[in-house]
Amino acid sequence: MKETQTRATRRALLKKYAKRFAVSALCVAILVPLLSVTAFAEPIFSVDLGSGEAGRSFGLLDALFLVALLALAPSILIMVTSFLRIIIVLSFVRSAMGTQQSPPNQVLIGLALFLTLFIMSPVIADIKEQAYEPYRAGEITQVEALERAEIPLKEFMLKEIYTDDLNLFLSIAQDRAGLEISEERSNEALMELDLAIIVPAFATSELKRAFTMGFMLFIPFLIIDMVVSSALMSMGMVMLPPTTIALPFKIMLFVLVDGWGLLFSALVRGFHT
């Protein structure tokens, strides 16, 4: 009996493997002619790991530059747009209200991104018109397109930079000679500054403005905390946390004065676009 069962099991396994072999052979027979046809077809896009001088090839240096640009894209978004100020102010609002993780980080980042897109839309339109469309039409080279794309960004950042911050980075870079900013200096001289100086100066100015707005936002909520804390101490409720009682009053005050509308309006109107 055992030998009979063993033979039957072996036969079943052999049939199973035979079916798999037949299916694999059929797939190979179908794919080989197709691959042989496509192998002789003209490639649509070729990758050249050499110098990148061929007609439509993509050089190694171009590939490395593209990978580096994609890796630095979040940093570029934060450092050269209005995103930095907006996300810091929104974080201060959440901390001042004491709502812990409400709104969550994903909501704050989403709000900051869409407000940034709304604020930066004129700059994006200028970059598209002056740099992207001529480059796509083949009228200018990649280097010329990048140089043209810098102009709207510089104009936007220079409008938001404090003079002291720009002079600070000019002194650090030892480029102060003839480049110190004053009221009489023309915009053409400012546009000649390098992005290596403008970007950190812009980020510093944005941090100053964001922290100033955060301080102003903390004051009304701090007053509510002080009033609630004094009331609890006068009633002898020392063991009751004041933040637990003050939180509903903070939310009510923020909703009654249309806090989100006022905050978004101040953020958008604070940029000179």
- Per residue in 131-161, is it b (16+ CB within 10 Å) or e — as a string? beeebeeeebeeeebeebbbebbbbbbbebb
pLDDT in tens, 115-161: 999 998 999 898 888 888 888 888 888 888 888 888 888 888 888 88
| 84-97 average pLDDT score | 91
The reported pLDDT for the residue numbered 212 is: 92
- What is Dmax (Cα atoms) for the chain? 107
Residue 47, beta-bridge partner list? 58
The reported pLDDT for the residue numbered 86 is: 92
Tokens 């909501």 -> residue: 107
Residues 6+ apart with CB under 8 A from 135: 141, 142, 144, 145
Per-chain mean pLDDT for the chain? 76
| Burial tier of 270 (Cβ tally within 10 Å: 0-12, 13-18, 19+) | middle
pTM over 0.95: no
pLDDT in tens, 21-42: 555 655 555 545 544 444 444 4
Contact of 190 with 181, CB cutoff 8 Å: yes
Residue of 145 and 7 predicted with greater confidence: 145
Residue of 205 and 98 predicted with greater confidence: 205
φ and ψ of 101, to 5 deg? -105, 30
**Read out DSSP for 100-115?**
TTSS-HHHHHHHHHHH
The reported pLDDT for the residue numbered 63 is: 73
Q: Helix axis angle, 60-80 relative to 195-234, nearest 10°?
A: 40
The model's confidence at residue 259, banded by pLDDT at 50, 70 and 90, is confident
The reported pLDDT for the residue numbered 174 is: 67
